[in-house]
Amino acid sequence: MEQLVKRINGMIHLKAYNRQRDDLFFITVEKSQLELVLSHLKNNEGFTHLAFLQAVDFLEDSKFQLTYMLYNYDIRVNLGVKVLIGRDKAEMTSIHKLWAHAWQYQRELHELFGINFPGSPRVEESFVLEGWEEMPPMRRDFDTKEYSERTFYQRPGRSTNDPKEYMKEKMYKNYAASPRIRRDDE
Amino acid sequence: MNRKHIDEIEKQMKLANEGLPEEERKFFADVIPTRVDPFNKYWEQFLNWARSRSLWMLAFGTGCGATELRPLMTSRFDMARFGIFPRPTPRQASVFVVGGYASIKTIKRIIRSYEQMQGPKYVIALGSCTINGGMYYDSYNTINRLDYYIPVDVYIAGCMPRPEALIAGFNRLKEKIVAGECEGMNEYTDKFDWFKKNQKEIIKDWNMPDYNW
Amino acid sequence: MSIWTKVLYAVVSVSVATVYGLTLGGIVRKLYARVHGRFGPPVWQPFLDIIQTYSRRVAVSHGNMFFLGPVLRLAGGLGTYLFIPVIFGSALFSNFSMAGDLLLVMYFVFFGQLGMALGAGQGGHPYSPLGIARGLAQMSAFEVPFSLAVIAVAIQYNSLNITSIVAAQQGGFMHWTLFTNPLAVIAAMISILGMNMHAPFSIVMAPQEIPIGPPIEMNGSFLSILQTNRGLFAAAKLVLFMNLFFGGATNIIEMIVKTFFIYMFSVFVGAAYPRFRPEQSFRFFLKWPAFIGVLSIIYITYLGGAS
Amino acid sequence: MVSPIYILILSLAAGFLLSIIDRGGRKISLAVFYGVLAFNTALIIDWTYRFVFLHAPTLVINTAGFSAPVSINLELGMIQAFVLVFTNLTGLLAAVFLFRKFMESKVSSLILYLLLVMSVNGLVMTRDLFNMFVFLEILSISTYALTTITRTKTSLSAGFKYMMAGSVASIFFLMGVVFVYHFTGNLNLDFIHADQFAGTGLVALFMLTMAVFIELKPFPANGWALDVYQSVDSGIVSVIAVINSAAIGFVFYRLIPLMPQSFLTVFGAAGVITFFFSNMMGLKQKNAKRLLGYSSIGHMGLLMASIVFTIGAPSTVRYLIIGGFFVNHLVAKAGLFWLSGIVRQENIRGWAVLKNNRLLLVLFGVFIFALSGFPPFAGFWAKWEFVKVLIESRMFFVLGAVLTGSLFELIFLFRWLTITVKEDETQLEKITTPDSGSVFATSVFALLATVVAAGVMKYFYNFGWVQTLPAAAALIVYLLDFLPSKLKGFVSLGAVAAYGYYIYPLLESNLQLFFGVIFIVGSAINIISTLNRKNQNRGFYGFLLMMIFSFGNLLIASTYLEFFLSWEFMTISSFLLILRGQKAQRASLLYMIFSTAGAYLLMTGFSFAPALTSTSALMLSIEFVKLPLISVIVLAIGFMIKAGSVGVHIWLPEAHAEAEADVSSFISAILLKAGVLGLLMVAISCIAHAPSFPVFYWIGWIGVITALVGAFMASFQEDAKRLLAYSSMSQVGYVVAALAMITHLGWVSALYLAFNHMMFKSALFIAIAGVYYRTHTRKMYEMGGLISRMPWSYMTVLISIIAVSGVPPLSGFGAKWLIYTAFITKGWYLQAGVLFFASAVSFLYLYRLIHAIFLGQLKSEHQEIKEAPAWFIIPQYIFLAGIMVLSMFPNLMIRPLNSIAMHYFNSSISIEGLTVVSDLGYWNGNFVMHITMAIFAVPFVVLLLLRGKTQRVKQFNIVYAAERPESPETTHVAYNMYAHYRKALGGWASPRIENFWNGVAEWSHTLGDFFRRVYTGNGQTYILHIIMYIVAIYVVMGVK
């Protein structure tokens, strides 16, 4: 793996390299060099399978982090390629020419995060939301509760309880004494 | 009354079907559904008795609720002994079982299926999600109250309700049917505009006829 | 006998057959449930279902042919039944068998199927023609052993007249076709599996593939007419088989017992087997059952099987 | 009374003078030139008239005042006159054709041409061998010179090859003459006898005949000739192919009496081989003139064979055969060569330009039909008689080779014709207005062909006008073609009615009457649907009337020849009707090939048949004819081709599908019945004299398998008309099977089914024609849901398919009931089982037809479509009314059929009131109808009362798994509807029979191509061929 990283480093500048498990690694690359890296990984290093492509909204940094998760069937290794892109008018090059099925992921990201992939087939079509008109809902600045209250009729009389407290109160009167597995947050 | 007026009135008696593109409107019927009253009392009572003992169920497995229907059908709980049978097409079914949360995408299909059922038709809404949104009460994509979109006869609370609860719900429905209290199909036609308003409010890309015959 | 008396008798006969056929349907449901380890619905459930479907307040029609489809289907069932003499020697149950012979009955079976196919076709639902295509194809396949068996019977009794075929089988069970020409009966009994469309030949309705197939758009009273026909038509087919192969019946009890067992044969097979794919089903009928049918003809012509 | 010697004298004189006259201007010399040619022709016509009508004695002219053998004598008899009329006429017209060439070229070509014609005259008339040699030389030399009238490289080289071959021939001829003189001391044919050549003398004869023989271009020593045909100017080629060949053929004919039997056999065989192989090689030929070359060579072979093999025949018959072949070849070949000069297209595909000129197209058609030996042209009669002679003298190999060769020739000729008519011509250059001379010459020859045909029919066979009516009708309507279509349609309807009125009293028996109803009444009703045609619609009604009249003539034909003549008229007219279809090139060609193969079989079969003893219609008198086994088999196959039985059904779906929509109903409903009629006639003759081999048992099997295969094939079609075509095949399969039983019930059911089929298939085809008229597609999956737009057509299809399927209560069940009862009574149990299977399979295609077109989803583009025009609806409902009446009262049909069949057998059914009782069962159609109506009414009323509030909805209001349909196209299930059945059948569903025929076609073409390789195009090789050929013949003949 290290050799692989070296080889890639020889080509371009790797921003970060992180080993999660024996079979799970992450590298972070520049936005402009992503396509180069991916095609190298696919064509020369045997990472032929694109398992998924997902995004994380780093609202505070005003960035989206895209993760292209690749898999090598020969050495059975997962490799995540991370890219950070700007959050405003987010745009990323489409990789549907490398992996044809990537169009579906890109369409999803377009709908849920508002990341644009110019040239990706059918990217404008709705994916799970039909007729969505608001801000892409997976952006963290979208207030889903407010939206729900505004849009869907609330049935009056609904109350919410913290399950742990509620159960403690209602069902397990002697909660402290009851044997249980210790949880981290206690 | 001149010709123009008649045309005007006829137009009002037709569904506008504005959600459909012009060239597709000819493929769909544009008749407004109307109320159909029950027969006279005793005859209707007899029919209701028969209906309550032969419930043909259209199971709409939207969410986790679909899981609970399997044991209900099979030998553990065996709903057939109550005269309840699954039916694969809405045209023939009389009970609509909405199996849990309904996203906007799903509610479209729920409306469509409900409208395609032939009355008298009954709706059983399954799980908390259909009552008030349940654990999805704050979701941007899931409705909170099913009865704003289609008339519901019986709610079964729970997350998820077990098959026993379902059977209890069915029995409650039977009681209501025999008592002649299940007039959901007429409620829907009577409050047609209200239901449609609610439906169209959340379904932004309304691309079906206003009533799915 | 005046024609009106005949009509009256026919009404009685049809009513009995319909009630009997529907009850058989209820029994089958019960039986299937027991095989599954369930209680199952009550035996009279089919009647409740019919009342329920007839009592729908609204219905949807796709056009005139859609409207006529169920009517033709029931007419086909009625016709098939009415051209069969049900009970040997009984005026009440002789129906209109003087109008034609076995061939008429065999072809009248198609009447209802064709009518239904047309009605369902106008429904415009893609599953309808899919189901019909399967049904017609399967029909053409199981008609091969069946027709061969019928020809064997016609050779054996030198007649196509159902009454005389039954008459020739009187006088003890050893005169039944079942024992005088067992090969023909085997071929015919295999083809009845396809006719009754229980598993493994339930490819027409195939709930998990093409949800109930042809009648998918049928609703309300259209459907209930189809259900009525299902009872009547089942009875008609069973009576035909009984007459041709099992010595007919001289009274109603005998008829009920015999037809019950004929029906149970296909029910038990159906309860025990999963479903074929369409092409497997067609191929099945065109192979061994057809061969057995040919053998039955050879047996009856060359090996002195003829009585 | 001018002596024919003036032909020679005048020609020679003119030839010498022309070079002088020409100085005064080409016009004058041309006037002299044509004057001489015209004089020659007129003179010889005058003589012919004397011989034929005034019975003048044969004229012998002794030259130089001495009598033979001292001087040379000329002889002009009927035969010579006959040959000379045609050669001189051709010479004259070819010169007319070449007018422009003669205007431009040197005067020498005029002289040469005159000499050529003169030498032919001399060659025909002279009785002296050496004189013959002289004329032969003149002929050859002038021909060599004329070949170069257009100076292209190829024509020069061809001329040179011709010269080399000619020289070889000349040498042999000269040596032959020398030897003849050595052995007999005489050179005059009148004084030489065959026995003078016994022993070594044969060498003389051998050389003499060999020379002639080489000039006759036998296969394979004829490569030079092909090059000549291909490259030399059309006018000259026509002269070479026609005049030269005629003259040399005549010389050959003159030498025949001298030859011993062993020679004759070899020559005959060589002729047949030439005919066979050159036609086979023609199969792959694309160059029009070379194609004609192959055909010419073939015809010379045929002429040779006919000269040799008819020696034993009565002289009138012999003259008819030889003369027929001769005239046919001459007229058609000259005409076609001239046409090729007008068209100026090398490739046969280029001939599509002919479409721009109707007259030329018609001429082309006439020549092609004449050349292929179709009536009424001379070749037809010659072939008919020739086949008879061959069969009488038991020369079956020759017969086979001649018929196969003819078939090959027909294939390439009709491929040419169909391509010409159907190929797209827009890419090609239009024909520049042809000069009137060439068109005139060609037209005269077409007329000549017709006149000769009429002459033969009138004077040789003494046919009545009814026999020629089909051809006459076509001609008359052609002349009236400028009228609007509707008017012609009504007139045709009237003509058919009048014809029906005329032949009604001639139909003596019920059987004839029955077929008369199918043919005439059925056609008349079908004509109504053609009234929808717009504009002038040229050429349609002529062919239609021709077909209908020939149907009728089949019924009243009283001899084999009359029957066969009508049969061929029917083939021609139906072929031309099919050819009118938009993409019917392949279809019509296939139809033609199979029909002609069938016709040849019929010809053979009739020739085997013993003479008729009665003068009543053939349909009746055939009962007393004891057909030999071979005849039964051959005739049955011939008729089964027309009835589309399995194995020879390939033409059927194509023809039905590609013919115009309203023509298909004629083909299916009526034309196929002609095959049934024929088969029935064969069967009738076999009642009393059952053949020793169970022919009809196997025909029965073929019938049931046809029914099954047709049904399956129909189920797998996407094309509505193709589906109906296979359905017709299947239904006629039932008829054939039922006929083959030769029992009373079998025939009743066959005729019942035939009549029924006529009605429902007409109705179906017309209904589909109406649908096609509106939707412009035949693909069923492109339609759908038309029930709402075309309810009347739907009703027709509905009733008709119920009638087809045999579901009670409609008339179709009667057919089914009769046929199964008949089969079981006859003891054909397995056949009955197969038929039952076929009948069950028929539901598949019938449902597919009605569903895919009328049910399911209506397409967007058909939303506003209208019902079919009334002209289509009216005939449909006439047929429907017929079906309903027959269903209600089946005895209306069964009673007369019973009596028809009772003429031949004891009745096996009895009719008690409205019930038909057979040995096995009974059927009361009327009662069934009543019950069906009653049991239909009961649920109908119940549904009306109990249906609740029913809402009529539209096509997308279906439960679509909670979705909505995307488009009508994706929602309509019609494409490949029985894919699963095909899968279940596996390898059984593969088109074996079609593959077989494709294989046959492939093989014969490849073989033809293989043999074609002997022609290398190298002159030396050709000479080598000639030498080797002579050596081979020498060895074969065993000359010592």
Note whether B80 contacts C42, CB cutoff 8 Å: no
- Write out residues 187-226 of C within 8 Å (CB-CB) of D: 216-217, 220-222, 224-225
Strand, helix or coil for residue D915: strand
What pLDDT score does B173 carry?
92
State whether residue B139 sits within 8 Å of chain A by CB: yes
- C36/B75 touch (CB, cutoff 8 Å), yes or no: yes
Q: What is the per-residue pLDDT for D262?
A: 78
ipTM for the predicted complex: 0.88
- Residues D601-608: what's their mean pLDDT? 88
Q: B106 CA to chain A: closest CA distance, Å?
A: 10
- What CA–CA distances, in Å, run from A47 to A37, A38, B147, D121? 11, 9, 51, 94
Q: Give C100's DSSP letter.
A: B
Chain C contact residues (CB < 8 Å to B) = 29, 33, 36-42, 45, 48-49, 51-53, 55-60, 207, 211-212, 216-220, 223
Query: How far apart are the two ends of chain C, measured CA to CA in Å?
Result: 34
Residue C273 is predicted with a pLDDT of 86
pLDDT digits (tens, 9 = 90+) for C182-230: 888 889 988 888 888 887 888 888 777 787 788 888 888 888 888 888 8
Look at chain A and count its residues. Answer: 186
D936 touches chain C (CB under 8 A): yes
CB atoms within 10 A of CB D113: 29
SS3 letters across chain A: CHHHHHHHHHHCCCCEEEEEECCEEEEEECCCCHHHHHHHHHHCCCCCEEEEEEEEEECCCCEEEEEEEEEECCCCEEEEEEEEEECCCCECCCCCCCCCCHHHHHHHHHHHHCCECCCCCCCCCCCCCCCCCCCCCCCCCCCHHHHHHHHCCCCCCCCCCCHHHHHHHHCCCCCCCCCCCCCCCC
C 101-140: CB under 8 A from D: 101-104, 107-108, 110-111, 113-114, 117-118, 121-126, 128-130, 132-134, 136-137, 139-140
Q: CB–CB of C58 and B118 under 8 A?
A: yes
Asked if residue C165 belongs to a domain, the reply is yes
Nearest to D823 by CA among D926, D749, D757: D749
The band of D67, judged by pLDDT with boundaries at 50, 70 and 90, is low
Closest residue in A to B128 (Cα) is A158
Q: Which residue from B23, B60, B213 is facing D953, i.e. has the nearest CB?
A: B213
Distance CA D94, CA D81 (A): 19
Residue D578 and residue D705 share a domain: yes
Q: Do C40 and B81 touch (CB under 8 A)?
A: yes
Q: Which helix (H) or strand (E) holds B55?
A: strand B55-60
The amino acid at C86: V
Q: Work out the minimum CA distance from C266 to partner chain D, whole angstroms.
A: 22
Chain A residue whose CA is closest to B199: A152
Show residues of chain B in contact with C42, CB under 8 Å.
Answer: 81, 83
Which residue has 């809902």 as its token pair? A137
Q: What pLDDT shows up at residue A71?
A: 92
- D505-526: per-residue pLDDT in tens? 888 888 888 888 888 889 889 8
Torsions phi, psi of A16, nearest 5? -155, 155
Report yes or no: D933 and D888 within 8 Å, Cβ to Cβ: no
Chain B residues whose beta carbon lies within 8 Å of the beta carbon of residue A137: 140-141
Q: Inter-chain contact B89–C33, Cβ cutoff 8 Å?
A: no
Q: What Cα–Cα distance (Å) separates residue B149 from each residue in B58, B123, B170, B197, B202? A: 18, 12, 21, 9, 10
Token output for C193: 């599996």
Q: If pLDDT is split at 50, 70 and 90, which confidence band does D614 have?
A: confident
**D479 and chain C in contact, CB less than 8 A:** no
Give the closest of C79, C155, C294 to D932, CB-based: C79
Give yes or no for residue D100 having a pLDDT over 60: yes
Q: Is D1027 on the interface with C (CB under 8 A)?
A: no
Q: Which residue of C has its CA nearest to D934?
A: C75
What the block records as the tokens of B133 is: 């949104």
- pLDDT: which is higher, D208 or B49: B49
Residue C307 falls within a domain, yes or no? no
Average pLDDT over residues D446-466: 79
pLDDT of amino acid A184: 64
Q: What is the DSSP string of D617-638?
A: -HHHHGGG----HHHHHHHHHH
C243 in a domain, yes or no? yes
Is D975 part of any domain? Answer: no
| Residues in chain C within 8 Å Cβ distance of B119 | 56-58
B83–C45 CB contact, under 8 Å? yes
For residues C77 and C70, give the distance between their C-alpha atoms in angstroms, rounded to a whole number. 10
User: CB distance D968–B116 less than 8 Å?
Assistant: no
The pLDDT value recorded for residue A122 is 87
Nearest to A129 among B138, B141, B143 (CB): B141
Q: Contact at 8 Å (CB) between D651 and D591? A: yes
CATH of domain B58-202: 3.40.50.12280
CB D573 within 8 A of CB D628: no
Nearest to D904 by CA among D799, D704, D751: D751
Q: Is C173 exposed, middle or buried (0-12, 13-18, 19+ CB in 10 A)?
A: exposed
**Which SS3 state, helix, strand or coil, does residue C194 take?**
helix
- Tens-digit pLDDT profile for residues D434-451: 677 777 877 888 888 888
Of D82, D167, D272, D363, the C-alpha closest to D1026 is: D167
The domain segmentation of chain B, as residue ranges, is 58-202
- In the predicted structure, residue C305 carries a pLDDT above the cut 60: no
pLDDT in tens, A108-117: 988 888 888 8
A152 and B142 within 8 Å at the Cβ level: the answer is: yes
**D525 within 8 A of D875, measured Cβ to Cβ:** yes
Confidence label for C307 from pLDDT (cuts 50, 70 and 90): very low
B to D contact (≥3 Cβ pairs closer than 8 Å) = yes
Q: Considering CB atoms only, which of B108, B145, B198 is closest to A155?
A: B145
β-bridge mates for residue B57, sequence order = B86, B95
Q: What residues pair up with A49 in beta bridges, in sequence order? A: A71
Q: What local confidence, expressed as pLDDT, does residue D432 receive?
A: 66
A27 touches A14 (CB < 8 A): yes
Domain assignment of residue C52, given as a range:
3-302
Q: Which two tokens stand for residue A9?
A: 């480093």
Residue A182 confidence (pLDDT): 64
Short-list D441, D415, D457, D168, CA closest to D295: D415
Q: Encode pLDDT of A27-77 as tens digits.
A: 888 888 888 888 888 888 888 999 999 999 888 888 899 999 999 998 888
A159 touches chain B (CB under 8 A): no
First to last CA, chain B: 31
Instruction: Tell me the average pLDDT of chain A.
Output: 84
Radius of gyration of chain A (CA): 22
A137–B141: do the CB atoms touch at under 8 Å? yes
Burial of D431 (0-12, 13-18, 19+ CB in 10 A): middle
B119, B122, B125, B131: CA torsion to nearest 10: 90
Q: Which of C17-31, D325-339, D611-625 has the highest mean pLDDT?
A: C17-31
Strand partners, A83: A29, A66
First-to-final CA distance of chain A: 40
Chains A and C are in contact, defined as 3 or more C-beta pairs closer than 8 angstroms: no
- The H or E element that residue B57 is part of is strand B55-60
Q: Given a cut of 80, is residue A126 above it in pLDDT?
A: yes
Of all residues in chain D, the percent with pLDDT exceeding 90 is: 4
pLDDT attached to residue B96: 92
CA D983 distance to own-chain centroid: 40
Q: How many residues does chain D have?
A: 1040
Q: What is the DSSP code (8-state) at residue D781?
A: G
- Strand (E) or helix (H) holding D882: helix D870-888
| Chain D residues with CB-CB distance to B213 below 8 A | 951, 953-954, 957
The predicted pLDDT at position B172 comes to 92
Nearest-CA distance from C76 to chain D in Å?
8
Rounded to the nearest 10 degrees, the angle between the axes of helix D811-826 and helix D744-775 is 140
Residues D510, D398 share a domain: no
Query: pLDDT, tens digit, for every residue of D366-416?
Result: 888 888 888 888 888 888 888 888 888 888 888 888 888 888 888 888 888
Q: In chain B, which residues have their Cβ closer than 8 Å to the Cβ of A153?
A: 144-145, 148, 198
Residue D582, classified by CB atoms within 10 Å of its CB into exposed (0-12), middle (13-18) or buried (19+), is exposed
Looking at the DSSP bridge assignments, the partners of residue A63 are A58, A86
- Provide the pLDDT confidence category of residue D460 given band limits of 50, 70 and 90: confident
Average of per-residue pLDDT across D958-980:
86
Between CA D548 and CA D159 the distance in angstroms is: 50
DSSP per-residue codes, D945-989: HH--EEEE--TT-S-BTTB--S-HHHH---TTTTHHHHHHHGGGG
Q: Token pair of B61, please?
A: 């497995």
D407/D532 same-domain check: no
pLDDT at D273 over 80: yes
Question: Which of C48, C59, C60 comes nearest B54 by C-beta?
Answer: C48
Q: Identify which of D232, D273, D446 has the alpha carbon closest to the alpha carbon of residue D359.
A: D446
Residue A148 exposure: Cα atoms within 13 Å on the Cβ side: 21
Q: Chains with ≥3 Cβ pairs under 8 A against B?
A: A, C, D
Subunit contact B137:A130, Cβ cutoff 8 A: no
Report the amino acid identity of residue D873.
I
Question: Both tokens of residue D277?
Answer: 């192989």
Tokens in use for D20?
């002088």
Per-residue pLDDT tens digits for B148-171: 899 999 999 888 888 888 899 999
pLDDT value at position D29? 83
Average pLDDT across chain D, whole number: 84
The pLDDT value recorded for residue B123 is: 93
Residue D19, classed as helix, strand or coil, is helix
pLDDT of residue B1: 58
**Is residue D71's pLDDT more than 80?**
no
Q: Do B54 and C216 touch (CB under 8 A)?
A: no
Domain with D345 in it: 260-465
Touching A (3+ Cβ pairs <8 A), the chains are B
**Can the peptide bond before residue D220 be classed as cis, meaning omega within 30 degrees of 0?**
yes
Query: pLDDT at residue C306 above 50?
Result: no
Mean pLDDT, rounded, for A88-104: 87
Both tokens of D163, joined, read 């010269």
pLDDT tens, position by position, C133-146: 888 888 888 889 99
Q: Does C155 touch chain D (CB under 8 A)?
A: yes
Its CATH class, for the domain covering A2-156, is alpha beta
D910 three-state secondary structure:
strand
The tally of domains found in chain D comes to: 2
D792 in reach of chain C (CB within 8 A): no
What pLDDT does residue D389 have? 87
Do D383 and D333 belong together in one domain?
Answer: yes
d(CA D224, CA C23): 92
Q: Does B203 contact chain A (CB < 8 Å)?
A: yes
Nearest to C154 among D808, D850, D920 (CB): D920
Whether the pLDDT of residue D431 is over 70: the answer is no
Q: Say how many domains are in chain C.
A: 1
Size of interface B-D (CB pairs under 8 A): 43
Distance from CA of C245 to the nearest CA of D (A): 18
- pLDDT, position A140: 86
Contacts of B150 in chain D (CB under 8 A): none
Average pLDDT, stretch D961-989?
A: 86
CB contact under 8 A, D951 and B109: no
B144/A153 CB distance under 8 A: yes
